């Protein structure tokens, strides 16, 4: 049987499967269903410096082959996460976990990262730059290379653990933003976050989501995510974590061929809470079908044809 092990920024993972932030809570909810230690790791719910109630309801809408959400980063704040959620997590998950961090200013990003960096359970800091910069007119940090780089420098100044920048796909040139993050000192890139979309109710003739628009995730976005991972992995020298519409072991292999070191599963967890377990269990058979001995051997494999 081949090896599913991969190495992400100095930490060995039993397999490359990581549930996405926002779809796996803080872990203990899913631990009631199965032993989550079978996962490579997971990215816990997006955490901000201060507690957030999130956006008004309704904030989720179905769409063919996907879903829209505008939850609005609802979370109890970093102090509560450290004092309450992480101790509960330690009882059920015995591997390094990825801390997902959001902020609305450079100072908020830095302070939240500094607090989570001190937690022994945290192996990596995944910094979401899809948030609006409240000090500069609400433009998302992740839509501008200079602003994204400024976040990297702010958090690198206070953190010792690897910084992985989570990028928004709602941009014209994802590669320029990834390169700016790398040049500023980022240790890795994760992409894609959700695509901006909306639905309108024919009955009320109004947007279904109270926030008007929301983030599209699910199988519908997989080809877009795959394209962006492929482009970024070819352009940077740091590890890339791929996500967006993954729901099967075959999707995992395709994303790794595009250049992903690890693969994040998001919306599939909301459809089937056993999705990650099912994918991990299916990987050996799919690897055998495609004559893959070690998963690390296929990372970026789809790039080689373009280089010959």
Q: CA–CA separation, 77 vs 242, rounded Å?
A: 27
Residue among 131, 181, 262, 276 flagged as catalytic: 131
Helix or strand holding residue 285 (H, E): helix 275-289
- CB–CB of 122/116 below 8 Å? yes
DSSP per residue over 223-275, as a string?
HHHHHHHHHHHHH-SS-EEEESS--SHHHHHHHHHTTEEEEEE-HHHHH-TTH
Cα dihedral 75, 78, 79, 85 sign: positive
**131 is an active site residue:** yes
Q: At what angle do helices 249-257 and 275-289 cross, to 10 degrees?
A: 70
- CA-to-CA dists, residue 172 to 60, 128, 175, 176, 221, angstroms: 26, 18, 9, 9, 16
- CB–CB of 224/202 below 8 Å? no
Question: Which amino acids are annotated catalytic?
Answer: 131
């Amino acid at each position: 049987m081949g090896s599913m092990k991969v190495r992400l920024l100095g930490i060995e993972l039993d397999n490359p499967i990581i549930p996405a932030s926002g779809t796996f809570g803080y872990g203990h909810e899913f631990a009631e269903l199965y032993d989550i230690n079978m996962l490579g790791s997971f990215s816990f719910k997006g955490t901000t410096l201060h507690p957030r109630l999130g956006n008004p309801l309704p904030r989720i809408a179905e769409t063919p082959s996907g879903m829209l959400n505008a939850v609005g980063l609802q979370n109890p704040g970093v102090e509560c996460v450290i004092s309450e959620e992480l101790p509960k997590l330690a009882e059920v998950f015995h591997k390094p976990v990825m801390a997902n961090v959001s902020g609305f200013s450079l100072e908020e990003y830095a302070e939240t990262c500094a607090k989570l960096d001190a937690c022994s359970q945290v192996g990596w800091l995944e910094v979401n730059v899809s948030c609006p910069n409240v000090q500069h007119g609400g433009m998302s940090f992740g839509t501008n290379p200079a602003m994204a780089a400024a976040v990297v420098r702010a958090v690198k100044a206070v953190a010792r653990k690897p910084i992985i920048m989570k990028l928004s796909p709602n941009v014209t040139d994802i590669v320029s933003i990834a390169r700016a993050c790398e040049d500023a000192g980022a240790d890795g890139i994760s992409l894609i976050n959700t695509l901006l979309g909306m639905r309108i109710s024919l009955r009320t003739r109004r947007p279904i989501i109270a926030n008007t628009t929301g983030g599209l995730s699910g199988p519908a976005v997989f080809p877009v995510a795959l394209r962006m991972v492929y482009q970024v992995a070819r352009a940077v020298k740091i590890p890339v974590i791929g996500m967006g519409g993954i729901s099967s072991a075959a999707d995992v292999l395709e994303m790794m061929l595009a250049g992903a070191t690890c693969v994040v599963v998001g919306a599939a967890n909301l459809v089937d809470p056993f999705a990650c377990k099912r994918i991990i269990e299916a990987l050996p058979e799919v690897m055998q079908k495609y004559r893959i001995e070690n998963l690390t051997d296929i990372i970026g494999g789809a790039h080689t044809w373009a280089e010959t």
